[in-house]
Chains A and B, each alone.
Chain A
Amino acid sequence: DTAVSQTPKYLVTQMGNDKSIKCEQNLGHDTMYWYKQDSKKFLKIMFSYNNKELIINETVPNRFSPKSPDKAHLNLHINSLELGDSAVYFCASSQLRQGAGGYTFGSGTRLTVV
């Protein structure tokens, strides 16, 4: 069973479109995250949710809106896509806190905006 699964794996779309990426974890973790990995492989946190509550919202354009219907799901909706949004987006989960353990990452969604 996949621990953290995100769909789709690849997403090619035109500028200006709205798209969503879904993420689900079956580990029973309390906290879920979205990370963005750019073309230079640099990973940066975008959002974190703990038990459906938004904890972190880094400097991310408000075109990006996370939604957590329950603690096992954290979806990412992106409005008015721009070329610069092209990247690989990773969902992750952890059991928190203070040295509790490593994070489990999904396999990533490669978003290409054309």
Chain B
Amino acid sequence: SQQGEEDPQALSIQEGENATMNCSYKTSINNLQWYRQNSGRGLVHLILIRSNEREKHSGRLRVTLDTSKKSSSLLITASRAADTASYFCATDVLSGGGADGLTFGKGTHLIIQP
């Protein structure tokens, strides 16, 4: 079954504003990752946050993780038109053997209006 649920499903903001997307998941995880997918393209890894981390930054991206609430958020600051894409959270769950792959949420479609 699906692990992650992103919220909102779609978000439209003006260029320069901040965009916040949320993700909830169901089971214990090893790490949580965020990916971007431009229309008609593959997924690009943005950032990974481990289960023992609470916040992580990478350029204009800020990710938080609350394992007690099983939720994560992705903040994109000072958005640009090029940030228009679908954003997915994905969980890497704890397992004995590894190689279980990622479980993806449904994604948030972000539109940056110029």
Give the B-binding residues of A (Cβ under 8 A).
30-31, 33, 35, 40-45, 48-50, 55-56, 90, 92, 96-99, 101-108
Contact = CB atoms under 8 A, between A and B. Distances in A.
B45 interface: yes
Interface of B is mostly: strand
Given A99-B31, A104-B45, A105-B43, A42 B99 contact: no
B24 interface: no
A57 B2 CA distance: 16
A23 to B, nearest CB: 12
Contacts of B84: none
Nearest to A44: B104
Contacts of A103: 33, 43, 45, 102
Contacts of B98: 31, 50, 55, 96-98
Given A102-B48, A103-B45, A108-B42, A55 B106 contact: no
Contact of B41 (A41, A101, A108): A108
Nearest to B97: A55
A33 B104 CA distance: 14
Given A31-B98, A103-B45, A108-B41, 9 more contacts: A41-B106, A42-B106, A43-B43, A43-B104, A45-B101, A98-B30, A101-B48, A103-B33, A105-B44
Contacts, number: 69
A16 B41 CA distance: 27
23 contacts: A31-B99, A41-B37, A41-B86, A42-B106, A43-B104, A45-B101, A45-B103, A48-B100, A48-B101, A90-B43, A96-B98, A96-B99, A97-B98, A102-B35, A102-B45, A102-B48, A103-B102, A104-B45, A105-B43, A105-B45, A106-B42, A107-B42, A108-B41
